[in-house]
Amino acid sequence: MANFNFQAEYNKWLKRFDSEDKNCILKQVQNMLFETLIYRCVLKARSIAPKDSKGRIKLNGAVHYLIDKCFFNNQLMTIRRLTDKGEDVVSLYKLLNQMKGNCKYLTRRNYFMILQELGYEYDYSEIKKKHDEYIEKNLRMGEAIVIPDELDWDKSERLHSDFDKLSKNKASNRTPEDIIDNSIFDKLLDELDCCEKLRDHVDHFVAHSLKPEKVEKLDDEALRVTFEHLWEAQQIICKVTHFVGLYLLGIVDYGLLPIPHGSFLQYIEEPLITKEEKSKLHEEEGKFRNEIHSWKVKIADFCV
């Protein structure tokens, strides 16, 4: 790949990771966590919900069955998408594999090149000199001073130090051609492979319907998915996502849990309907049953 353009390829990686595209990795992770926040509030609400005279929670079973089912299936599909190994997909796994495949271009020189516009300098000796001169000139006993951003040489040293760890190099041996060690990507990909159990569950029971004889061969652990399984997978995905954003695509400490506009708990304390209006729901049930009943077929419908 003699004509490999690192800047262009890096821009593609960054766009897949964070952009206005609803399928970008960061948005997938943020939506996953926001939905989990809502669900955790639902679980808390159940634990403190009022009970009837027999100690049963006064919540509608059908509504909360739907909440549980939709939450689990949607979360499983999100985890499946983020760890998808396919070719024509946007996934965290795919992004790491692409970066690993171009590992020889992930050099110290290239990283400082793409971050130079943010004030990162490979050779920061001149900036440090100006920084020290500024302090010597402006520092007064008992007074605080503000150092101009353009004199912040320490951030360049931190980037060098981080790259030492990524390239498994020593500061005394730094060169522009140091590259990120392949084992870093192997470790990150191995972490995502810990989600394989959930991926298999999606393939067997959510995205597809496994044959009964195949289901019988699965152990109980493969059939059962709990909130703890989801939470463990989410933690792994979030740690890998955070690492990619902070160390492999630059120095951005991305917030993974979005802040919603207004309170997402607005009107949560209000009942869905009043007792007096419950009859309207019975009417809706009857209407739907009649509609389904009208779908009866005749042999002529498909045997013309």
Hey, how many other C-beta atoms are within 10 angstroms of the C-beta on 193? 13
Whether residue 131 is found in the same domain as residue 267: no
Whether residue 55 is found in the same domain as residue 191: yes
> Does a structural domain hold residue 272?
yes
Residue 1 has pLDDT above 60, yes or no: no
Whether residue 94 is found in the same domain as residue 59: yes
- Return the amino acid letter for 98: Q
| 52 — pLDDT class (breaks 50, 70, 90) | very high
Instruction: State pLDDT tens for residues 91-150.
Output: 999 999 999 999 999 999 999 999 998 889 999 999 999 999 998 888 776 677 888 889
Residue 32 has pLDDT above 90, yes or no: yes
Residue 217 has pLDDT above 80, yes or no: no
Hey, how many other C-beta atoms are within 10 angstroms of the C-beta on 101? 10
Q: Which of 153, 178, 203 is the last residue of a domain?
A: 178
Alpha-carbon distance of 122 to 6, in angstroms, equals 17
Locus of tokens 């909130």: 227
Alpha-carbon distance of 132 to 159, in angstroms, equals 20
Whether residue 221 is found in the same domain as residue 239: yes
> Does a structural domain hold residue 282?
no
Please provide the average confidence, as pLDDT, over all residues in the chain.
91
Nearest to 77 by CA among 240, 227, 263, 205: 205
Nearest to 92 by CA among 139, 158, 23: 23
Whether residue 99 is found in the same domain as residue 217: yes
Instruction: State pLDDT tens for residues 136-193.
Output: 888 776 677 888 889 989 999 999 999 999 999 999 999 999 999 999 999 999 999 9
Q: Where in the sequence is the domain holding 100, given as residue range(s)?
A: 6-105+180-276
In sequence order, what are the residues at sequence separation of 6 or more whose Cβ sits closer than 8 angstroms to the Cβ of residue 171? 160, 161, 164
Alpha-carbon distance of 211 to 205, in angstroms, equals 10
Whether residue 272 is found in the same domain as residue 186: yes
| 221 — pLDDT class (breaks 50, 70, 90) | low
Whether residue 204 is found in the same domain as residue 65: yes
| 251 — pLDDT class (breaks 50, 70, 90) | confident
| 205 — pLDDT class (breaks 50, 70, 90) | confident
Classify residue 213 as exposed, middle or buried by CB count within 10 Å of its CB (0-12, 13-18, 19+). Answer: exposed
CA distances from 151 to 15, 139, 188, 301 (A): 30, 15, 35, 79
Nearest to 156 by CA among 128, 179, 184: 128
> Does a structural domain hold residue 166?
yes
Q: What's the DSSP call for residue 147?
A: P
Residue 26 has pLDDT above 50, yes or no: yes
Instruction: State pLDDT tens for residues 75-96.
Output: 999 999 999 998 889 999 999 9
Whether residue 167 is found in the same domain as residue 234: no
Q: Say if residues 100 and 179 touch (Cβ distance below 8 Å).
A: no
Whether residue 162 is found in the same domain as residue 82: no
Locus of tokens 């040489």: 153
Percentage of the residues of the chain whose pLDDT score is greater than 90:
72
What pLDDT, on a 0 to 100 scale, did the predictor assign at position 4? 77
> Does a structural domain hold residue 302?
no
CA distances from 85 to 15, 103, 183, 230, 291 (A): 19, 18, 19, 19, 42
> Does a structural domain hold residue 153?
yes
What pLDDT, on a 0 to 100 scale, did the predictor assign at position 29? 96
What pLDDT, on a 0 to 100 scale, did the predictor assign at position 87? 85
Whether residue 86 is found in the same domain as residue 118: no
Whether residue 221 is found in the same domain as residue 248: yes
Overall domain count for the chain: 2
Q: Which of 160, 178, 196 is the last residue of a domain?
A: 178
Q: Say if residues 184 and 103 touch (Cβ distance below 8 Å).
A: no
Whether residue 56 is found in the same domain as residue 195: yes
pTM, full prediction = 0.88
> Does a structural domain hold residue 289?
no
> Does a structural domain hold residue 25?
yes
Using DSSP's 3-state secondary structure scheme, residue 69 falls into helix
User: What is the CA angle 154-156-157, rounded to 5?
Assistant: 65
> Does a structural domain hold residue 135?
yes
For residues 15-28, average pLDDT:
94
Q: Which of 178, 203, 224 is the last residue of a domain?
A: 178
Can you read off the two tokens belonging to residue 297?
């077929």
Using DSSP's 3-state secondary structure scheme, residue 107 falls into strand
Residue 285 has pLDDT above 80, yes or no: yes
